[in-house]
Amino acid sequence: MNAPTPQIAPRATPLIDPFARPITYLRVSVTDRCDFRCTYCMAEHMQFLPKAELLTLEELERLCGAFVDLGVRKLRITGGEPLVRRNIMSFFEVMSRRLGQGLDELTLTTNGSQLGRFARQLADYGVRRVNVSLDTLDHDKFAAITRWGRLPQVLDGIAAAKAAGLRVKINTVALKGFNEDELFSLLDWCAGEGHDLTFIEVMPMGDIGGEDRLDQYWPLSDLRARLAERFTLTPLAERTGGPARYVRLEETGQKIGFITPLTHNFCESCNRVRVTCTGELFMCLGQEDRADLRSPLRDSPGDERLKDAIRAAIARKPKGHDFDYSRGVGGKMARHMSHTGG
């Protein structure tokens, strides 16, 4: 199937939150399950949600469609690992019909393990870019950090994405004592492959059993200073409405992103909300307030109740997040990243 041809369609006026921010970006977790067990993300023996609590693909399609009707222009599918959800390609097919019909971009964040199977279809369904998480290029370290993952499968997946014409952005979680020594090799590899690269500061999300994220915390201010020892960094004005900030390395022309929710406050330009795989709408990644969208989805065949619930929730989107390591456990979010979608 060919990618749908974008057509000019009247756009919905976006929802505006109490701080005058238009909400145009939705991230949706389509499953809490994953074929990896990254040490900073999950405990090895995770208790996953009962299947009946998950939204069906049809419910996810209705929900995403309602958000597009209400002015969302960018949809990012995440998880857990979105590509392990059964029949997820049918969901992408349905959502691809909204491209050019209110929706500007359909994209996903993945660990890359299933891209070998699905990259071509994703491209056919109008996906143009994909974020792939990759924290190391060392086989043993990859197996250690993901517990269940194997590096060659992910590298093959990334190659399949590139071959299918998808633009790849690599997301690397900066981990003290783990990938500090790979800063420049990751950079070189991305430059050689033509991939953008973004570093993420580890966030205090969910109990991961045993590990302490303060031990894993490598501040990006330090990472950036190390980059500046070798390269000239020019900050870029580019903003996505999210926590990422970008620089260009003048010597190579590479664009490097930094996601630093703990050391910077990026909330004033926030344009996004998140829906979990159970249909909970989180208006802020760093706050516990949420709205149940599963009941209005299940209780009513039409979308009006659902849309009313979305509007009511956006009307109480908070001004900013509440991450704070200094408050210890009190400042830690109880839910896992795989539940809300990273």
| Residues in contact with ligand SF4 by the rule CB under 6 A | 34, 36-38, 41-42, 79-81, 111, 133, 338
113 binds ligand SAM (CB under 6 A): no
In the complex, minimum distance from the CB of residue 80 to ligand SF4, in angstroms, rounded to a whole number: 5
Using CB distances below 5 to 8 A depending on partner kind, what does residue 54 bind out of ligand SAM, ligand SF4, none?
Answer: none
Residues 119-178, interacting with ligand SAM (CB under 6 A): 133, 171, 173
Residue 260 CB, shortest distance to ligand SAM, in Å, is: 11
Q: What is the largest CA-CA distance in the chain?
A: 59
**DSSP conformation letters of 230-277:** HS-EEE-----SSSEEEEEETTT--EEEEE-TTT---GGG--EEEE-T
262 half-sphere exposure, CB direction, 13 A CA radius: 21
What token pair was written down for 66?
Answer: 């309602």
Q: How far is the CB of 130 from ligand SAM (least distance, A)?
A: 10
Which of the listed partners (ligand SAM, ligand SF4, none) does 260 bind, with a CB threshold of 5 to 8 Å by partner kind?
none
The reply on whether position 197 binds ligand SAM by CB under 6 A is: no
Q: Which residue is nearest to ligand SAM (CB)?
A: 342
CA distance 15 to 43: 37
- Sign for the pseudo-dihedral over CA of 172, 173, 174, 180: negative
Is 24 or 340 the residue whose CB approaches ligand SF4 more closely? 340
Shortest reach from residue 62's CB to ligand SF4, in Å = 24
Cα dihedral: 311, 109, 111, 167 (round 10): 170
Taking CB under 6 A as the criterion, the residue among 109, 114, 179, 260 binding ligand SAM is 109
Cβ atoms of 39 and 148 within 8 Å: the answer is no
Interface pick for ligand SAM out of 81, 145, 223, 286 (rule CB under 6 A): 81
| Cβ closest to ligand SF4, residue 17 vs residue 81 | 81
Burial of 116 (0-12, 13-18, 19+ CB in 10 A): middle
Q: Which residue matches tokens 């949600």?
A: 49
Contacted entry of ligand SAM, ligand SF4, none for residue 78, CB cut-off 5 to 8 Å set by kind = ligand SAM
